[in-house]
Chain A
Amino acid sequence: MNFAFTPEQEQFRQAVRAFFAEARVQDLLRQVQRAPAREEPHPEAIYRWLGERGWLAPAWPAAYGGLGKTPVENAILAEELLAAGVPDTVRVNTIDIVGSFLLLAGTPQQKERLLPAMARGELIACVLYTEPGAGSDMSSLSTRAERHGDGFKLYGKKIYSLKSFPAQYGLASVRTTPGSTAHSGISLFLVPLAAEGVTINPMLNMSDERFSEVVFDGVAVSPADAVGPLNQGWQLINAALSLERTGHDFYVKIRRWFNLVLEQARTTGNINDPLIAQQITRLRAEVEAGRLMAWRIIDQQTRHEYDAAASAMSKWYNSELASRITRLALDMEGLDGVLSRWDREAPLDGVLEAAHRETPGLTLAAGTSEIMLHIISTTMLQASH
């Protein structure tokens, strides 16, 4: 048992933290914070500045724009980025999900073409798995790829995708074998979203990040756009999910919100209210336990060990804590707590009000709580047979 970071890792954290404190970064963040409702400015400059240093994807090989470090440095970057208030969905999608997927299953040409641009903060990718009829049951998807000359044409509709607007590519799951059902006949394509036949429509939701509906109407893709072998998509998705699911992206959110609640409780003196103090001390332990669950997965990743049940536990535990934190914030503030950042009297610029609109999505995104419990319980039930 050793829970310490190495001195080099601590130095990396300090350097990253100092970067986020720079005036040019803070200025951009203020602009993001002051954007009108429903606008989602992507602070691309911050991503590029990180990219210049190799910090956006520090775990990637230097040849692909990283620093050749470990998942530990990647997670440190993620923590400091969100703690500074930088929106992180683009980073999670591009680096942790699609980028990792390419590292795992991409061809050398795909890696050379895409990864360095991703690591520089210039190329954004989104995830296109969910369909109107395929949510938790991802294998029931009906988007299809029809043979067309050497390549394919895609037809179908993907929904509930985040940050598709600024993205150049979407990683889409589609059926490449006509008539196939369930887990067979699924392939993955990295679809250029500027291509003819792609329509992206906003699906506004209650949070600050809109969903998108991405419609494919005869989008031409080539075999070179396929990620991994054709018809092996289901196995690949599952392999990638177990690699990417740490729960850490959920942990960084709840840590930020909990720290704000704690800070606010100190400022207002609420912390001296025994009822509030009980809840704060309870959550403090739980958030720390959530941190450890996430970091255990990252620690395992450094040794290339994967434990699907432990990953699911981490995602479930961290995401379930989120709404308890924002409810406590509401209790502490009373009606002031419901003021949004577009009301000049909102406490903490409405960050926790926005969080309360975001939390219900966390127990749904990247595998619902029910799916996480399913993964944990099936692992347990199979283990001792």
Chain B
Amino acid sequence: MDFRLNDRQQTLKQNVARFLATAYTPAIARQLEHPLGAGDQSVPEPALHAEIWNGLVQLGATRLTIPEHLGGYGWGQTEAIVVAEQMGRSLYQGPYFDTLTAAEILLAVDDLAEQQATIRRIARGEYRVSLALPRQHHLLDASPAVTALEDGWSVTGEQRFVACARQVQALLLLARIDDQPGLFLIPADQPQITIRRHDEIGRGELYAVSFNNVLLPRSSCISTGAALQAVYESTRARACIRHAAYLVGLCQGIFDITLNYTKKRVQFGRPIATFQTISHRLASFAARIDAARLLAQQSAWQADQHQDIRQNAYELLALAGELAREWTADALQMHGAYGLTEQAEAQRYYRRSAVDTLLYGSPGQLRAEAAALMAV
């Protein structure tokens, strides 16, 4: 037993934190946010996004959980959550997490030479992927329908809330083949695919992707049926752990900002942080954030021990999600009306947490999934 980060994890944490502190400053993050109400007219800043991506690649972030024989480091979730937490602190928005998850899905399906080449490209940072699939557990609700043609497939339908769809080379699409789920890796840039940006509270990178009779070669289908279900569940559980770590980072990010603010803000002749009504709430959230962090670390470690981590992962993400919502709202309260202004960082964390606590299902839905695993 040793609760500390090991040297590798400590170095990774420092490197990612140092990189984000310069390459993903609040000013840059704001530049990447889409204006409120801009809808589909606002497009991502390609040069800025590319710079951030290249920086992550240079740090080795794209190689973390990919095995060494495929060009990765062969590390585990205990390393991945270190990166995720630092990204959450900065409210990082980009194709990193989906790409990592896509690589894990590709690793888990049948070992085709074609996918090995793709995984190698992901490790090198040359290939970004968005997940065009429902992150919640109802696989068959996946809307696009696939029809088998003589020499391939045809896809029609829409997948909503796809992250960073305009920054990726490929989509990992989940679609229905009759009443069976099927997984397809397809190029994102095709005339029959239309992408519409959602205008949402996070002002981020969420898109509705429409497939209008997209023709796919037979080889684009990489998994189907029960095998896919199993791959999807275990991969999604790991993604839930990483996302929980991201939310822990998000909470810590706004915690540090709020602590600083309340120490500087003077009312009634004293910094407001010295009032117990503020300081005790700060202390209680510090403890709860720490608790969520420890739980995320243990869950990641359990994943690396090849345990069935589904129930723990869902419960963890529900806990982190509820905490993020409650704490970001309380942080706004501690900021007073200043926190609501566009200059304030506090409202950015509040808005982002609304999105990020729903991405894999609401806390209640996640707990229902966890409960289903222990039903009698």
Measured CB to CB, the residues of A under 8 A from B are 1-6, 72, 266, 269, 271-272, 274, 277-278, 280-282, 284-286, 288-290, 292-293, 295-296, 299-300, 309-310, 313, 316-317, 370, 372-374, 376-378, 380-381, 384
Contacts and interface: CB of A to CB of B under 8 A. Distances in A.
16 contacts: A1-B5, A271-B374, A272-B375, A277-B367, A281-B315, A281-B370, A289-B292, A295-B3, A296-B3, A313-B286, A313-B287, A317-B291, A373-B283, A376-B287, A377-B273, A378-B279
Interface stretch (B33-41, B294-302, B328-336): B294-302
Nearest to B259: A380
A65 to B, nearest CB: 25
A18 B8 CA distance: 40
B2 interface: yes
Given A290-B291, A310-B290, A277 B368 contact: yes
B371 interface: yes
A172 to B, nearest CB: 31
Contact of A1 (B78, B288, B311): B78
B280 interface: yes
Given A278-B368, A280-B371, A282-B318, A295 B1 contact: yes
Contacts of B367: 277-278, 281-282
B215 interface: no
Contacts of B364: 278
B376 interface: yes
Contacts of A299: 1-3
B320 to A, nearest CB: 9
Nearest to B279: A377
Given A266-B376, A296-B3, A299-B2, A380 B286 contact: yes
Given A2-B301, A4-B1, A284-B315, A373 B279 contact: yes
B83 to A, nearest CB: 14
Interface in B309-342: 311-312, 314-316, 318-319
Interface of B is mostly: helix
A289 to B, nearest CB: 4
**A4, A5, A289, A310 — most chain B CB neighbours (10 Å):** A289
A317 B288 contact: yes
Contacts of A293: 287, 290-291, 294
Q: Closest 3 A-B residue pairs measured CB to CB?
A: A277-B371, A376-B283, A377-B279
B224 interface: no
Q: Which residue, of B1, B298, B314, has the highest number of chain A Cβ atoms within 10 A? A: B1
A380 B283 contact: yes
Contacts of A372: 283
Given A288-B295, A289-B292, A296-B294, A380 B319 contact: no
A265 to B, nearest CB: 9
A317 B301 contact: no
Given A271-B375, A272-B375, A1 B4 contact: yes
A373 B273 CA distance: 13
B73 to A, nearest CB: 16
Interface string B346-364: 0000000000000000001
Contacts of A72: 1
B284 interface: yes
Given A72-B1, A289-B291, A316-B284, A381 B279 contact: yes
A378 to B, nearest CB: 8
Nearest to B255: A380
A249 to B, nearest CB: 17
B302 to A, nearest CB: 8
Nearest to A279: B367
Contact of B263 (A292, A316, A384): A384
Given A271-B375, A377-B280, 13 more contacts: A1-B3, A3-B1, A5-B1, A269-B376, A293-B291, A300-B3, A316-B283, A316-B284, A317-B288, A373-B283, A377-B279, A378-B279, A381-B263
Q: Point out which of B4, B274, B318 has the most chain A C-beta atoms below 10 A from its C-beta.
A: B4
Interface in B216-262: 259-260
Contacts of B174: none
Nearest to A381: B273
A277 B315 CA distance: 11
B193 to A, nearest CB: 38
Nearest to A285: B315
B129 interface: no
